[in-house]
Amino acid sequence: MRDVVRLVWFDLKQELRPPVWIVMEWVTFGIQLFVYGAIISQLVSGISNYQQFYAAGFVVMMTFEVGSHSGRHFVEHAHDGLLPYLLSLPISRSKLFLAITLQGGAELALMITVPLIITLSLIGNLTAISVVAAIVTLFCLGFGIAGFMLGLSFIAFKSSDVYSAVTIVMSTVVIRFSTVLYPFIFLPPSYASVAIFSPLTYGADLFRLLLGFDPSMLLSPTVAVAVIAALMATTLGLGMFLLQRLVEGVKSA
């Protein structure tokens, strides 16, 4: 396991160099929450405190972005030639995949720590168990999205431009057609019929439920747990399969 930790730490250090971008993400969160969120909250009448709802949604959006970044990170590794180097290191493929996944998890933890603390203090009135459960939900969602994006990144071995274009459109569609920014009960039927297939809908609703939001606005937590668990299991399996596939076929960059 020492090799896995070493690999995660080394790759993470590279991501944090320079660390200014992670701080900028926190600043963006603060501005969005305390300027946009605060003002829009006064205009929204259907929810008692939209700023809190928006804060939780923004943390889920950040989770999606970090998960999505893991896929891009993988593509970059393939294109800058680092992946063959990683594949030649004297560790097993499963440990390598674990390291890639944990690196994504560690990046997620770093990215959302400050926004999460701000969100929790804004909401207040929380129990330790619900906070831990909320964090676990975000991690599962992040891993699931990272696994999905790793799968999607496979198409990028022919073109990283196609990958970037697809992920930009995807993130716009997946976030807007979900309950990240608005409760399910307020969605028009046509939007709701799409949102019900978005994993972000379940991630956001489960996260909010654990933070103590009104359950009447949210989808069934049992279904949400099942969807998140299934997403994580299938996409991680898919990622592992693709890594093997990569070893078998894709030409070195």
Partner 1 sequence: MIAVETQKLVKRYGKTFALKGLDFSVEEKEIMVLLGPNGSGKTTLLLILATVLKPTSGMAKVMGLEVTKQPTQVRRVLGISFQDARGFWRHKPAEILRFHAAMCGVRKTESATLIEETLKMLELWDARNKLFMHLSGGQAKRLEVAKLLIQRPKFAIFDEPSSQVDLRGKRAIWEQILRLREEGSTILVATNEVREAEYLADRVTILDLGERVTCDTVHNLKDKITGGDIVELELEQPQEDAEIPQDLSEIPGTVKLMQTGKGMYKAYVSMAEAWVPKMTSLCYEKKIRVSSVRVTEPSLDDVFLHFTGKKLESQANA
Each residue of 127-146: b (16+ CB within 10 Å) or e? Answer: eeeeeebbbebbbbbbbbbb
**How many residues of this chain bind partner 1 (CB under 8 A)?**
26
Among positions 19, 36, 93, 197, the unique one binding partner 1 when judged by CB under 8 A:
93
Interaction between residue 79 and partner 1 (CB under 8 A): no
DSSP state of 215: G
**Cα 248 off chain centre by:** 29
Which helix (H) or strand (E) covers residue 46, if one does? none
SS3 253: coil
Near partner 1 by CB under 8 A, which window of 32-40, 54-62, 77-85, 160-168?
A: 77-85
Complex with partner 1: residue 79 or 176, whichever CB lies closer:
79
Three-class SS string for 231-247? HHHHHHHHHHHHHHHHH
Q: Least distance (Å) from partner 1 to the CB of residue 247?
A: 6
Smallest separation (angstroms) from partner 1 to the CB of 108 = 20
Contact residues for 185 (Cβ-Cβ < 8 A; gap 6+): 216, 217
**Alpha carbon distance 204, 40 (integer Å):** 19
Binding flags for partner 1, 1-30, as an x/- string (CB under 8 A): --x--xx--xx-xx--x-------------
Q: Which is nearer to partner 1, 186 or 245 (CB)?
A: 245
* Residues binding partner 1 (CB under 8 A): 3, 6-7, 10-11, 13-14, 17, 80-82, 84-85, 87-93, 247-249, 251-253
